[in-house]
Amino acid sequence: MTLPSANCAVCHVAARLTCTRCKVVRYCNGEHQRQDWPQHKSCCRPFREQQDAQLGRYLVATHDVKAKQIIFVEDPLVVGPKWFLTDEEKSASIVPCVGCYTPCRVDKHHCRNCRWPVCSVGCEHEKLECSVLSLGNAPKSKTDVRALVDYYRHDALLVLKCLLLQQQHPDRWRALLEMQSHEEERLGTELHQEAEQRVVGYLRQRFLQRIKQSKQRDSMPSDYEPQLLHRLCGIIETNYMVIELATGIELSGLFRQACMMEHACQPNCYFQFDAATQRIAVRAGCDLKKGDHLRITYTNILWGTQMRHHHLLMTKHFSCRCARCEDPTEYGSYVSALRCLGDVSKTCVGVQLPVDPLDEKTQWKCDTCPMVVDAAYVTEVQTHMTEQVESLLAGRPTASQVELLLARLSQLLHTNHFHMFNLKHTLVQLYGHEPGLELGTLSDLQLGRKQRLCDELYNVCRLLDPHSIKLAIYVSIILIEMTHTLEERARREQAEAAALLEQAELRLKEAQDVVEKVLDSVAGKKLNDKLQKHFAEHYKLTARLKLNTLN
């Protein structure tokens, strides 16, 4: 799925020749390549790089491109362990294997040369990297887990991998240094201090400063000044792409072209990663027109504007000014809106929206009455709610617990607010599945509630991500739950059964179409398996109910 076809585009036999221009399409011989060129011309590298002062470098479509078509395939500059670890990940005793990133115990198997953890005795890793790592003094005790965890900082390994490109791939090294690092903005920030302690100081003291005494120093990097290492940290932070392997392991990668794609809070492209070749394929998320900028989203599309801005500013050092960010209603979704509480004399049915969504300190104004609240109040409400939602969802709540919090939050938040969305998305997966709330046991009222929730969630997704690019997993789950609801109604309402089952089938097919975009992830694979089973059951049900109506 991730990779383009390995067969000839003309006669479909296994083919060795690849179009040298795009490296996407294959041919069995030169004759077939020439024959295909008039058609292939319009989809061979259908984009170009452009540059301006505001956006820096970005990519633009040079032809119309159909949804899901591959726009380009690219080898990485560097791929390595996950960047930006949580506190738990920093202290976990399960770490990625230094060779293949499979999770392994920090105190079990170690590379014979550098002593870094490996998944199995035979798992090897890159030679130069191994030589540099072997300059460190690995903890003597093989059982002191805490010392071992502090010694094997796998996130720092990504910076070392970048540094080693100097020797290994000078062309990739040059391309890497051309990337934006936001060095100036990083100075004095928490990110910079954190990188100093966790990565830069660590790599220098434990490994790099020992290069001078090494016998192999001629083949090792000669420049590892703190400034260069910080620049690499900045380049990674600004540009890295999250790669989720089908095994669930998360890696970080830098790609020369893919990293040039512009950010927008509504994407029109997506990418899939092929673990075997480490290549990514960038695909059109919807039909693209000539001249469209290629866009992906670097933040959580379900968050409100304030949270997205904060996240992008902290991690990517820029303020997004896309159409959604400028719109106080966020495409009419109201995912940040609060309910207006009115004043002492009168209640109000209006909603509070930011006057200038791009200004953190903006006032929030009611769309119905003259009531105004300040940003500090909004932040306080949001923070308080975030804590409540997170702590509830972390504890595997029951449907009635979620309903309770939903009712509480609904007094202050718009019904589409992102916290409400989160709770409702949990709820639709509980109704019909929670022990005691199986589909057959739901009351008509509960079934109706499930359907309404699904519809509401689906509408928010359509507004924020009309082509289900970034929200593919969320949307597939909603569509599957919609199908369950429609099928259950078909069982209960004989007269409507045929129409309901038809609707259900359309939902299933839509889910199938959406899930194709995320087949390279664990969640996507699981959903796809579920969908296949669901299709079979759906046809069985359809056959059975048809039989009933005939009798």
Q: Where are the beta strands (DSSP E) in 275-333?
A: 279-284, 295-296
The verdict on 328 binding Zn ion (CB under 5 A) reads no
- Which of 19, 162, 208, 427 lies at the binding interface for Zn ion (CB under 5 A)? 19
Strands (E) in 388-511, as ranges, are none
Q: How many CA atoms lie within 13 A of 150 on its CB side?
A: 7
Map tokens 């362990």 to a residue: 81
Taking CB under 5 A as the rule, does residue 103 contact Zn ion?
no
Q: Which of 73, 79, 114, 282 binds Zn ion (CB under 5 A)?
A: 114
The correct pick among 141, 189, 347, 368 for binding Zn ion (CB under 5 A) is 368
Contact between 46 and Zn ion by CB under 5 A: the answer reads no
- Which region among 136-144, 246-254, 314-322, 396-404 touches Zn ion (by CB under 5 A)? 314-322
Q: How far is the CB of 339 from Zn ion (least distance, A)?
A: 9
Instruction: Find the shortest distance in angstroms from Cβ 483 to Zn ion.
Output: 32
Q: Nearest Cα to 208, choosing from 222, 189, 188, 227?
A: 222
Return the number of the residue (33 or 485) whose C-beta is nearest Zn ion: 33
Residue with tokens 């928490």: 190
What are the residues whose beta carbons fall under 8 Å from the beta carbon of 191, sequence distance 6 or more? 237, 314, 315
Q: Is 22 in the site for Zn ion (CB under 5 A)?
A: yes
295-296 vs 262-263, strand pairing mode: parallel
Q: From residue 194 to residue 233, what is the string marking binding to Zn ion with x (rule CB under 5 A)?
A: ----------------------------------------
Question: Is 371 one of the binding residues for Zn ion (CB under 5 A)?
Answer: yes
Asked if 11 interacts with Zn ion (CB under 5 A), we say: yes
Q: Which of helix, strand or coil describes residue 261?
A: coil
Minimum distance from CB of 22 to Zn ion (Å)?
Answer: 3
Q: Please say which residue, 129 or 488, places its beta carbon nearer to Zn ion.
A: 129
348 binds Zn ion (CB under 5 A): yes
Q: Is 373 exposed, middle or buried (0-12, 13-18, 19+ CB in 10 A)?
A: middle
Q: According to the binding rule CB under 5 A, does residue 282 interact with Zn ion?
A: no
Output the smallest distance, CB 261 to Zn ion, in A.
Answer: 14
CB of 141 to Zn ion, least distance (A): 19
Among 61, 73, 130, 159, binds Zn ion (CB under 5 A): 130
Q: Contact, 298 vs 263, CB < 8 A?
A: yes
Count of residues of this chain found to bind Zn ion when the rule CB under 5 A is applied? 30
245 binds Zn ion (CB under 5 A): no
Which CB sits closer to Zn ion, 44 or 385?
44
Out of 46, 81, 96, 99, the residue judged to bind Zn ion by CB under 5 A: 99
Give the rounded distance of the alpha carbon of 381 from its chain centre.
27
**Nearest approach, Cβ of 299 to Zn ion (angstroms)?**
8
DSSP 8-state assignment for residue 4: P
Least Å from the CB of residue 270 to Zn ion: 17
Say how far apart CA 417 and CA 291 lie, in whole Å. 34
Q: Is 333 within 8 Å of 353 (Cβ atoms)?
A: no
CA–CA separation, 208 and 159 (whole Å): 12
Q: Does 32 bind Zn ion (CB under 5 A)?
A: yes
- 3-state SS assignment for residue 56: strand
User: Helix 305-316 vs helix 226-239: angle between axes, to the nearest 10 degrees?
Assistant: 150
Q: Is 332 left (phi over 0), alpha (psi -120 to 50) or beta?
A: left
The dihedrals phi and psi of 335, each to the nearest 5 degrees, come to: -70, -10
**Residue 322 · residue 266 · CB < 8 Å:** yes
- Both tokens of 299, joined, read 């933040």
- Give the interface segment with Zn ion, choosing from 39-47, 143-151, 271-279, 519-527 (CB under 5 A): 39-47
Among 78, 235, 261, 265, the residue binding Zn ion under the rule CB under 5 A is 265
Which residues of the chain form contacts with Zn ion (CB under 5 A)?
A: 8, 10-11, 19, 21-22, 28, 32, 44, 97, 99-100, 102, 111, 113-114, 119, 123, 130, 265, 320, 322, 325, 340, 348, 350, 366, 368-369, 371
